[in-house]
Amino acid sequence: MNQLNLSNHLNNLNEQKDKILFSFPLYPPLELFHSMDLTTLVLWGLKNEIRSTQHIYKHIQDYVCSIAKHLTEFILNNGNKIDFLFSYNACDSLRNLPEIIKEGLKEQDYHLPSFHIHLPMNSLDRKYTEEYLKDEFTHLISSLEPFIPNKISFKRFSRSVELFRELRDLKKGLEDLIVKNDYSYINYIKSMEACKYLSNENQIRFLESKYKEFLNKNTSKSTNKVKRVILSGILPPPPKIVHIIEESGLKVVGNDIAKYTRSLHYTPPKGSFKTIEDYYLKFYQNHFPCPTLLYTTDSRIPLLKEMIKQKEANGFIFIGEKFCEYEYFEIPILEKQLQDENVPMLDLEFSAEDIKNYEPYRTRIDAYSEILTTK
Ligand code: SF4
């Protein structure tokens, strides 16, 4: 399958006359947008698709992460091809981006309808924050309704939820299968990337075909004595980095990556919600902990320790996104706590410019592998 890039994908969607909604950060109400027949593009990790960020520097500082840089560049260059923008509050880098982007587009005479919800970050299990979040969704639904042909229905929404549940389960299951049957973890990253711009139904078909491909145990490698590691970070590492990790003798057995496990972990169970607002309250209350969801941060370290235990991991590799304030607040604390559990951490950092030359990482990965194997 030829992998689409976002620009081509956008052109195809324009030709099909889809209603396109650009969204950030990473955990938007996808099921709701799907039930409204909106094609949602979550702009997260466009490093391989944006070669230059020359247009953004009059709008944002140089010292922001690649995610903020690339999504701003992409929207400012493609504002005339999209219909709506959706955002919710996250880190400081993204907080004011919707206004900055809208102003940038206004300079090009393009007025983009945009929608926003505020996710309470202190705690989501107090009565008043629960009510507040539900009100945010009621308001979002009523703001979107005038822009879509059909009234929003709970029945359609529930169908979309089931589709996303199936998709998330397939993606989690594919990782388990690839790890269990001793295939390179690169297969998981490549599969996830290859289907990211397909419709849900085509993603399901694609993932089912991948299942068949990886169903049998890979007999070419014996991995019994290999040390096992978990990957963590906002973005997945480039396949070349995974290749270097595996060449150093380590086996990737799981991930705490925002774009993968943190996004796929939880869908509220069938029958546990009676309204769309109810669904999203449960969805965000039980979301896999992520430093960008401040109310989840207390539960992150215990959960990661549990994941390490369950995956029988010996090490933890942090794929740092340069200038990510949230992740870098957490990492020193996490590193210390994992050290106390005898799980050493390797801390790698990638910037917007790091797209090709990965060899300098090899020495550090090899040294880390040596530490793990001599433990
Ligand atoms: S959470 Fe970090 S990586 Fe994500 S947009 Fe904010 S600063 Fe960038």
Q: Mean pLDDT over residues 252-270, rounded?
A: 97
Q: Is the pLDDT of residue 2 over 50?
A: no
Residue that wins the pLDDT comparison between 122 and 115? 115
Q: How many Å separate Cα 283 from the centre of its chain?
A: 15
Ligand 1 atom nearest residue 323's Cα: 7
Judge whether 319 and 232 are in contact, CB under 8 Å.
yes
What's the CATH fold of domain 6-155?
A: Rossmann fold (3.40.50)
Q: Is the pLDDT of residue 3 over 60?
A: no
Q: Mean pLDDT over residues 112-140, rounded?
A: 94
Q: Is the pLDDT of residue 50 over 90?
A: no
Residue range 321-368, pLDDT digits in tens:
999 989 999 999 999 999 999 999 999 999 887 777 888 999 999 999
Tell me how far the alpha carbon of residue 290 lies from the centroid of ligand 1, in angstroms.
11
pLDDT value of position 225:
67
Backbone angles phi, psi at 237, to 5 degrees: -75, 155
**Distance, CA of 164 to CA of 121 (rounded, Å):** 25
pLDDT value of position 222:
56
pTM attached to this predicted model = 0.94
Of 71, 292, 294, 297, the residue with max ligand 1 atoms within 8 A of its CB, to mutate for a pocket test, comes to 292
| pLDDT > 90: percent of the chain | 81
**Distance, CA of 239 to CA of 226 (rounded, Å):** 19
Angstrom CA distances, 353 to 50, 338, 357, stand at 10, 30, 10
Nearest partner of 239 among 160, 177, 186, 299, judged by Cα: 186
Tell me how far the alpha carbon of residue 40 lies from the centroid of ligand 1, in angstroms.
20
Q: Mean pLDDT over residues 6-17, rounded?
A: 91
Residue range 217-236, pLDDT digits in tens:
887 765 566 899 999 999 99
- Coil/strand/helix, residue 308: helix
Residue range 194-211, pLDDT digits in tens:
999 999 999 999 999 999
Tell me how far the alpha carbon of residue 50 lies from the centroid of ligand 1, in angstroms.
17
Q: Which residues contact ligand 1 via a Cβ below 6 A?
A: 65, 67-68, 90-91, 93-94, 234, 292, 321, 324-327
Ligand 1 atom nearest residue 292's Cα: 1
Mean pLDDT is lowest, of 9-13, 98-102, 137-141, 218-222, for 218-222
Ligand 1 atom nearest residue 26's Cα: 4
